[in-house]
A = this chain, B = another copy of it.
Amino acid sequence: MKIDEIPTPAAVVDASALQRNLHEMSQRLPGSSLRPHVKAHKCTALAARQAALGHLSFTCATPREVLGMIKAQVGHDLLLANAVLDVDRLGQVAQAADAAGVIARIAIDSAETVDAASRAGIRDVVIDVDVGMPRCGVAPAEAGQLADLARQRGLTVSGVMGYEGHLQMVTDRDEARERVAASMSLLRSAHNEVGGDIVSTGGTGTHDLHTIGLEHPTGVTDVQAGSYVMVDTQYASLNQGFEQALTIVGTVIAHHERRYVTDVGLKALGMDHGDPTIDSCNVWFCSDEHTTFSSSERTLRVGDRVHVRPAHVDPTIARHEYLWLVDDGEVVDRWAIDLRHW
């Protein structure tokens, strides 16, 4: 099957670029120093590629992601890096992990999340620490107390995590390095109170700013990067040496006066970082099932294909059923995006 025969809109992956991204990151952060975040792709087939490169610890954002990874038998150490109150779903995670002999660790940041994990039969938790981004995470000074509470409830506390999400897009790398170090000092201070083998953090935007290993003063044990796999127009602006591997391929369905219309719309894109781009074209606006654009450089015909570059990959992929792997114009595989929803 040729790329031009894929029904559109379609989430198309440049298989070579993907492989280069995976290899590059594996060289920078080998083995357990990378804990790939599956929320970026929600695809167990892609996670299996990451595992094949030696990364057997993964990060997940939802119970469904953890359950799907266990079912697909990918990874042996899964960190649900999110506060979850749903005892039913956590119970499913605990049972599936026990049955499969997989470690499922749950982030906790409150007495309520300790209680939910305990009631669900979860064995292993990490303390989620606020390192500067206003979201989940306990204050560093309270981390030790929460760990004590968790241990009183019979939970194993394996360490800490803290996501410096507010620093992912700091373009001045010296500034980013300094602020990441300050964030990691907070995380490490919490770790001193909590104990355990895990100090987990980071993302693609800061993956190169961490010292790895507990022996370093502000070192971490693993980086939760996900977006390096595909890269979007926002991450591409950081010039970190990864390639934009994902485009949403559309068909030009109309051409009137100066404008073209392709069948890639809001429902095929994550729009929170703004409009997508099309090479050498000006995007006018997106609607539910369309993007209207023009070009002074390209001449297109109705029926032609265009590659639409999403501004934010993660929520874009979550809108699609499949990733189409393409190499040199040929479809070489189709992967189900099987970790969607909650």
Contact = CB atoms under 8 A, between A and B. Distances in A.
Given A85-B302, A287-B135, A289-B62, A315 B267 contact: yes
Given A62-B289, A272-B286, A134 B259 contact: yes
A256 B8 contact: no
Interface in A1-27: 7-9
Contact of A251 (B8, B85, B137, B303): B85
Q: How many monomers of this chain does the complex have?
A: 2
A261 interface: yes
A interface: dominant SS: loop
A303 to B, nearest CB: 5
A129 to B, nearest CB: 11
B321 A319 contact: no
- For chain A, give the interface size range: 35 or more
A130 interface: yes
Interface in A276-309: 284, 286-290, 292, 302-303
Nearest to A312: B266
Interface in A135-183: 135-139, 165
A44 interface: no
Contacts of A86: 7-8, 251
B302 A112 contact: yes
Interface in A45-62: 61-62
Contacts of A342: 7-9, 263, 268
B284 A136 contact: no
A109 B254 contact: yes
A253 interface: yes
Interface in A111-139: 112-113, 130, 134-139
A9 B112 CA distance: 18
B254 A110 contact: yes
Interface of A: 7-9, 39, 61-62, 82-86, 88-89, 109-110, 112-113, 130, 134-139, 165, 251, 253-257, 259, 261, 263, 266-268, 270-272, 284, 286-290, 292, 302-303, 312, 314-315, 318-321, 341-342
14 contacts: A7-B89, A8-B342, A83-B253, A85-B253, A85-B302, A110-B255, A112-B302, A134-B256, A136-B253, A139-B257, A266-B312, A267-B314, A288-B314, A319-B319
